[in-house]
């Protein structure tokens, strides 16, 4: 494991989108064609009102993790996909007055060191909304463990996104996020 210190702070994600997607590719196992599609999606997301991004960088400026999100809008593609699943569990109200974590990824060499926790708590601490929502692959994973430790609960499971091979869980938490392990 790399013991290099990292600093979390605001990042111009549009300017560093290729670097961020390289981190996501390593963390998430993306192929080149998937990265090309996601590049356009990230750049489009960053144009939304209230969109914010934070990065985790090493002392030499290398980006080793990032998070971005925005106030949720029921008209966004993600919301239209998850809404029927949330309605089925009586949780559709979570789509209102929520800050959505759109992406959170940490380079594998820097996982398990609190970088993801630092990124998500930093971005949500800056929100004036009462809660946060996100989606994560619906499996027992370190990411889902992190979200649970921060107070996120399952709102809907086995959510299927078009073209995604695995189902997701939609999770929500009151803000500020719970601290500690």
| DSSP-H helix ranges across 98-141 | 115-125
For tokens 């370190």, the residue is 142
- Gap between the terminal Cα atoms of the chain: 21
Domain 7-174 fold is Aminopeptidase (3.40.630)
Dihedral sign of CA atoms 47, 164, 57, 118 in order: positive
Instruction: Please say whether the beta carbons of 86 and 95 come within 8 A.
Output: yes
**Domain locations in the chain as residue ranges:** 7-174
pLDDT in tens, the chain (181 residues): 567 899 999 999 999 999 999 999 999 888 888 898 999 999 999 999 999 999 999 999 999 999 999 999 999 999 999 999 999 999 999 999 999 999 999 999 999 999 999 999 999 999 999 999 999 999 999 999 999 999 999 999 999 999 888 999 999 999 999 996 5
């Amino acid at each position: 494991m790399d013991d290099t210190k990292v600093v979390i702070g605001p990042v111009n994600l549009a300017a560093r989108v290729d670097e961020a997607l390289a981190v996501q590719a390593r963390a998430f196992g993306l192929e080149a064609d998937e990265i090309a599609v996601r590049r356009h999606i990230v750049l489009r997301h960053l144009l939304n009102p209230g969109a914010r991004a934070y990065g985790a960088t090493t002392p030499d400026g290398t980006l080793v993790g990032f998070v971005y999100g925005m106030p949720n809008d029921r008209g966004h593609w993600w919301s239209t996909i998850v809404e029927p699943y949330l309605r089925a569990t009586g949780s559709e109200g979570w789509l209102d007055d929520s800050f959505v974590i759109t992406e959170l990824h940490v380079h594998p060499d820097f996982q398990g060191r609190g970088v993801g926790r630092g990124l998500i708590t930093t971005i949500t601490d800056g929100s004036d909304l009462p809660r946060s929502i996100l989606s994560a692959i619906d499996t027992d994973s370190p990411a889902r463990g992190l979200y649970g430790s921060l107070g996120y609960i399952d709102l809907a499971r086995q959510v299927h996104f078009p073209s995604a091979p695995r189902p997701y869980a939609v999770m929500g938490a009151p803000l500020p996020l719970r601290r500690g392990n």
